[in-house]
Structure 1
Amino acid sequence: MKPSHDLTNLIAFSQREGVWPELLASVLDEHFGPALEEFDLDFDDLEEVLGPQLPWVMWGCAFEDFLTRDWEPEGNVVDLYLKRRGWREPALAKGYMQGLRHAHVSLHEVLSTVAGETMVLRDVLTGAGPVTVREKSASRTLKPGDRIAVRVVPVRDHHVISGGLLPFAPAVVDTLMDGLRTVLKLRRKKDLRLSPEQLRGIAHLFTAAFLFTHLPQALDPQRPQMTNTDGEDLVFHELRFPFATGVTQAQVTEALSHLPDLSADGARRWVWLSKSGKGGAGNMIHGTLDLRGKALVLEVNSAERAARGAAMVGKAAGALLRPPLMAIQTVDQARAAHVERAPLATEEIPPEIAQEVAHAHMTRHYRDTLDQPIPALQGKTPRQAIKTAAGRKRVAEWLRLLETGTARADAGAMTGYDFAWMWEELGVTREG
């Protein structure tokens, strides 16, 4: 029996009947043309640059946009297809096509998931209330807080998501928001609210935002984008809060002592901790605070943490401190300064920063690995292998090898990485 979301026959119809191939080509050009021209690429080049799957997911996004359009005098391709060939499609497939024909793409935040069953999504751009969608695959890999570009499709008495799903990292979200405001000539403001009609008319901007964010990094692998464990761009910030007139270190110390996220590291130094690290990693260091003469100095590694840290300090000791003076360094600037200060040193960035970056990279890598074929698992993905008792034993052995290999090796910044989240996500015990 055909899957209810199978669009194979509709795609074939669109690629060979009447004027539809030409109209489909025009929509594909809207989605891909600007980026391909900017980076001097053909569509076929995208598989080599971005991998074999992403280009076709984006092709699917463009095709879904094509399905929602009304043309003069042709009408809509879904309406025509169902009129001529609908008899060959199962009822659920026809319901999905009809729902997709009227759906709009948007940016959605994942609020919660039930692995293998459902997700709750919030439309960030329209402000519509949360909706529960039935979804087996994505609900296993996405987590609360993730943002995705996708269409929510009503089918009978429930909702599903379309096949054209793109993960939108913070950098892609920023690119999209800038593009939306520019094209729609909207003022910059905190909240952006768009109607479904507006979103139907600018669906190509989602593909463009994804391409213009990912292609520069993919085409220049020597300069990867570095992020901290929260996925924020790695930019070092030092905020120096001068004391107000007459204020002493003892007064500031007393004010900071009431902050639950600070852990004392000596008489004049505190470590700012996150109480629930991502990926099951436990407490994570967000920054440090030091008393230096007549000033309190906060050091963090992203603009977002700088803002959160300044708000935290202001709430606890705002009356005792003057507005902060800020110094900012990129990773390249910090590396150059470190080499200049210690030309014989072998480390280019501070060990604690290197470890945080390495651990974040490992988490992203191993999360992708859960859906990749592994030779040690007889060519199956970890998620496939755990479906049998023998496979679960092989997965447990594979996880133990990963842990042992990292523990035995001179792992440097990778030392201390916690694989516990992988055991938990796969539902495998250490006894196999």
Structure 2
Amino acid sequence: MARANGVDGLIGFIGKDNTWRERLLQVIDEHIGPALEEFDLEFGDLDELLGDPWPMTLWGCAFEDLLGRTYGAGETNVVDVYLGRRGWNESAEDRAYLASLRATAPSLYEVSQIVPGKSMELRDLLSDADPVTVREKSATRILKPWDRIAVRVVPQGKDYVISGALLHFPAEAAEFLLDGLRQTLDLDPESELRLDEDVRRCCAPLFANAWLFTQLPKILDPEMPTLTNSSGDLLEFHDLRFALSTGVLQKDVLSRLSKRSDLVPEGQKAWSWITAAPETRSAQGGGMTLDTSMGGQTVLGYLELKGKVLTLSVNSAERAGRGRVMLTDTLGDLVKPSLTSIRTVEQELEEREEAPADEIPLDIARQIVHEHLDRHYRDTLDQPIPALGGKTPRQAARSADGRTKVIAWLKHIENSSARNMESPMAEYDFRWMWEELGVLDART
């Protein structure tokens, strides 16, 4: 937390003054005490659990909160006291910064227009204030478009800067904070939050509390999210191997399979098994839905004929059952009863981790991934999306309410892609989707 702008001297002053040091400890307890009590932790445990720099960032949130508080009938403020006693030791610029920091309340901001190493634009999600461009070096190299952060935006001369305590809020943490603010302020659960600086200053501890109450459970009891396919089936990988009957030739099998309209050739002896209509059920328990689509239709599995064996690969027990019936009805006595191997998600991940990395040049990998994403999202624009009320993005974008949901949906998928920093996905340009849906003006 310690940085220039006069903050170093102020921290030292508080550390040597018993009264102000005790007050800081009380504010720290407001910011992190509820979470420590809830999860039966000590402050020292946060170093191991959260890692650098988060314990000091949380300390910084409390420290900055203290700077805006007043005590006693005389409304004594630590910044005023420090500047009165030691202000002669600080530059005019540093004195002005401390005064601005004291007067600034925290808020939740949405990040956009990032210029790494220079600046970013922040939109206050808790007020109607116009977006501001802040000068910033380190954070702009880490943050991604549409990230949400809790921080103080401090005027400095003609510019704006951010304070030292910045918390990155994932989607669930942001929602937890917004719900907590509504409950604390006794507001309607669906109301749009528009809070003045005095209210946000009073609610400052809620920012750290919301962040901790959503981060600690994931660290203390990490669980793989429930993974399903778009049919709502739990993800489990099945390979059904049908050996050809004695005397049966590949051409006999190929002839039967060619008559099925739901088998799309992917080569001379490979097929995608697709649905007659898209399948779009939401994931169980708020988990994640994984699947592949083709031309707006869900790919249920993949078929491949090698030598004397026909293999069907699917991602759930339900689809394995459907596939077995489909191939048995289609091929009859051309194949023997299937043998099935099953792998859980955990086993599949372990196999992939143990497998040698493909030595594909980065530019080729990027091209392959981006072309896949082009096809995937082109199909997605015409598929029902649960987050859009079951409408396709094109349909939803035609109304004012739907347009708002489409913008939020686009921000979510773009931010998720950008945060996948070890993959070529991070470099994918979503601009064309904003243009296609007529909402590009909301991206700038």
2:59 maps to: 59
Query: Can you give the 5+ residue segments of structure 1 that lack an aligned partner in the other structure?
Result: 227-232, 240-265, 271-287, 307-312, 314-333, 360-403, 426-432
2:84 is the alignment partner of 1:102: no
Q: Secondary structure at the match of 1:127?
A: coil
Aligned-pair distance for 1:344? 4.0
Deviations 1:319-374 (A, max 9, x none): xxxxxxxxxxxxxxx989899999841243897xx79xx99xxxxxxxxxxxxxxx
Q: Select between 144-153 and 415-424 the one with higher mean Cα deviation.
A: 415-424
Q: Which residue type is aligned with residue 141 of structure 1? A: I
State the alpha-carbon separation in 1 of the partners of residues 347 and 21 from structure 2: 56
Report deviation, 1:421. 5.0
| SS of equivalent residue, structure 2 residue 195 | coil
C-alpha separation in 2, matches of 1:289 and 1:105: 53
Matched, 1:9 2:6: no
2:72 match: secondary structure: coil
Which residue, out of 328, 353, 357, partners 1:406? Answer: 357
Aligned to 2:280: 298
1:68 maps to a residue whose letter is G
Residue of structure 1 in register with 2:116 after alignment? 115
Q: Which residue of 2 aligns with 1:68?
A: 68
Q: For 2:281 and 2:136, locate their aligned partners in 1 and report how far apart those are by CA, in whole Å.
A: 42
Higher relative contact order (CA 8 A, sep 6+): 2
Distance in 1, Cα, partners of 2:107 & 2:161: 14
| Partner of residue 342 from structure 2, selected from 339, 342, 345 | 345
Alignment coverage as a number of residue pairs: 294
- Name the CA distance, whole Å, in 1 between partners of 2:123 and 2:130: 6
- Equivalent residues of 2:120, 2:133 under 8 A apart: yes
Is the 8 Å Cα contact of residues 4 and 96 (structure 1) preserved in structure 2? no
Report deviation, 1:424.
Answer: 7.7
Judge conservation of contact 1:65–1:203 (CA < 8 Å) in 2: yes
Which residue type is aligned with residue 346 of structure 1? R
State the alpha-carbon separation in 1 of the partners of residues 182 and 27 from structure 2: 22
In the alignment, which residue of structure 2 is the partner of 1:47? 47
Structure ID, larger Rg:
2
1:76-123 CA-to-partner distances (Å, cap 9, x unmatched) read 100111111011112222121111000010100002111111111000
Helix, strand or coil for the counterpart of 1:345? strand
Give SS of 2:280's match.
strand
The alignment status of 1:191 with 2:142, answered yes or no, reads no
| Residue equivalent to 1:391 | none
**Residues 6 and 90, structure 2, Cα contact 8 Å, conserved in 1:** no
Partner of 1:79: 80
Q: What SS class does the counterpart of residue 160 from structure 1 fall into? A: strand
Under a length normalisation based on structure 2, what TM-score does the superposition of the two structures give? 0.57
Q: Which piece of structure 1 moves more, 84-93 or 335-344?
A: 335-344
Structure 2, unaligned stretches of length 5 or more? 233-259, 265-271, 290-295, 297-314, 323-338, 370-420, 429-444
Using the alignment, how far apart are the partners of 1:189 and 1:289 within structure 2?
Answer: 43
TM-score (norm: length of structure 1): 0.58
Equivalence for 1:171: 172
Q: % of aligned pairs identical?
A: 41
Say if 1:124 and 1:424 are closer, same or farther in 2 by CA, change over 3 A.
closer
Structure 1 distance, partners of 2:113, 2:191, is: 24
Q: Which amino acid aligns with 2:358?
A: A
In 2, the alpha carbon distance for the partners of 1:423 and 1:191 equals 31
Cα pair distance change 1:200/1:289, threshold 3 Å: farther
Q: Provide Cα deviations, 1:235-255, integer angstroms capped at 9, x if missing partner.
A: 65548xxxxxxxxxxxxxxxx
Residue 224 of structure 1 corresponds to 223
Aligned-partner Cα distance in 1 for 2:321–2:72? 66
Q: Which range moves more in the overlay, 122-131 or 334-343?
A: 334-343
Q: In the superposition, relative to structure 1, how do residues 305 and 25 fare at CA in structure 2: closer, same or farther (>3 Å)? A: closer
